[in-house]
Amino acid sequence: MKEKGSNFLLENLSIEEKIGQMLMFAFHGTEYNEQLDYQLKKLHVGGIIHFSRNISDDIELVKKLNEDIQRGSKYPVFIGVDQEGGMVTRIANITPFPGAMTLSATQSDITDICYYEANDLKRLGFNMNFAPVADVNNNPLNPVISSRSYSDDPKIVAKYVIEAYKGFEKAGVLATLKHFPGHGDVSVDSHLSMPYVSKDINELEKVELFPFKEAIKSGVNGIMAAHILYKSFDEKYPATLSKKIIKGYLREKLGYDGLVITDSLTMGAIQANFSTAEIIENCVNAGVDIMMFCGKADLDGQIEVYNTFLDLVKSGKIKEETIDEAVGRIIKLKGKYVNGKYVTTDSNALKEKAKELFEKSPTIVKNSMDISISENEKVLIIFPKVRLLTLVDNETSEYKTLGTYLNGADEIIIDEDFENFEFLVQKVNKYDKIIMATLNVKANDYQVKVFSCLSNVVEKTIVVSLRSPYDAMFLKGVKNYICLYEITKWSLESLAICLKNGRFLGKLPIKLEE
């Protein structure tokens, strides 16, 4: 811990400083600025989260920003980021990090790649990563988790979650498993509204809760709570605000004494149902240690949060001893994670290691022909126009198409406005093979209509799901099916390589109904 943090003891903190330690805020800009300075000096904020908008292309500037944040604070700061890998990658210019389902499709031990990624984060001054995802994706219609999960099998999820945690831990980065008690079996995005789960506790313990329970046994120190109503636990409050779930179940029944942080409390599931005062009062009294507020990240709103928290303490609705329990945990874990050294690594060698994993992930699910592409074959790619898929994806991402990497192939880009079906029916007959890439197919969407145009050439059509492995469920009569699990350049490049050499090593991490 830095020297000026040597007086970072519970008895030395004022009540204003204590409540600041329990807050984590987002910010605007890529440099240390007035907003950050106010957060740290006036609001005594103990945690800062970065988004893609805060990450300079020059990563040395990211390192300087985090050093300035630590320098600007009286006490050590948790500096966190969502670096899950795959589609949720805030920092692009470090070791490429495959997403969860990409990794599980390789059937590899992922401890090392998670260590390398965390070591890169540590070098840049990050000490907290909002990963790994411990959700079991057991609902094909889940709009927000999907391939961010390792599998629909709780034992497989637990295996990879523990390996990821151990990799992060080795590098001195606090892993925060999410989204407790499990975000996998929902069909509503909590960024927009409140999902709920009606399963009984026995069912939850066998599936959703299993990876968390196993990780707690392994010594994990960070868990993120979900904005989901688990009716068998608490019919009124979602997990983030539920004393029955956080204190009663997670802390008392499971014996977890690590850090509990919320998902962003500006998300629709919370903001549409509770006032700021209700959010803070219930979170703190439930046993939450750090409340995260992202959203618009405007300073006036952040000041309101801080003042509301302070008023609740002064009015007696939140007791200081409750705050002391949380801040005690924060102080202890900051002592472990905020400082610490990183290891200098060979970035080119790490890129090669990551590339090997990516190339092991493309998965043949079914095929009625030789799927490989030879140089003399005429190939048509039908590729969906890519937009922001979920609110957790990177707004700044520039997506490539498969045609970028599969030289010599023709390519058509389609979207919901595509209507030239007769032209397509005629055109596909001129090709030896057609590759139709799909992206989060829904019943009767434009991709279903386009696929129906390929009925006469379905035997020579290869469907490639770009994110959700469940796409084929909506496409009747698919004969050849390959799964990717993310639309990153590394994944698309790996697919092109596999199509050319015919070597597909990935194993499907979920069960797919015919």
What is the reported pTM? 0.94
What's the pLDDT at 379?
98
Spatial neighbors of 58 by CB under 8 A, at least 6 apart, are: none
- Tens of pLDDT, residue by residue over 439-459, are 999 999 999 999 999 999 999
Q: Which residue is catalytic, options 153, 189, 263, 393?
A: 263
- Cα 463 to the center of its chain, rounded Å: 26
pLDDT at 1: 40
Whole-angstrom distance, CA of residue 361 vs CA of residue 501: 14
Residue 232, CA distances (Å) to 193, 197, 250, 267, 379 in order: 20, 8, 14, 23, 53
**Residue 2, pLDDT score:** 43
Specify the pLDDT at position 3: 47
Cα dihedral 426/429/433/434 (nearest 10): 20
Reading the block at residue 450, the tokens are 């386009």
Q: Are 262 and 224 in contact (CB under 8 A)?
A: yes
Residue-level pLDDT at 188: 63
Going through 147-230 in order, the beta strands assigned E by DSSP cover: 174-175, 177-180, 196-197, 222-225, 229-230
pLDDT for 377-406, tens place per residue? 999 999 999 876 555 555 545 788 999 999
Domains in the chain (CATH in brackets) are 80-337 (3.20.20.300), 355-501 (3.40.50.1700)
Per 3-state DSSP, the chain is made up of helix, strand and coil in percentages (nearest 5) of 40, 15, 45
β 88-89/83-85 pair status: antiparallel
| Spatial separation of the C-alpha atoms in residues 177 and 294, rounded to whole Å | 19
pLDDT at 198: 86
Name the stretches of the chain with pLDDT < 50.
Answer: 1-3, 396
152 assigned to active site: no
pLDDT value at residue 394:
52
Torsion of CA 170, 171, 174, 180, to 10 degrees: -60
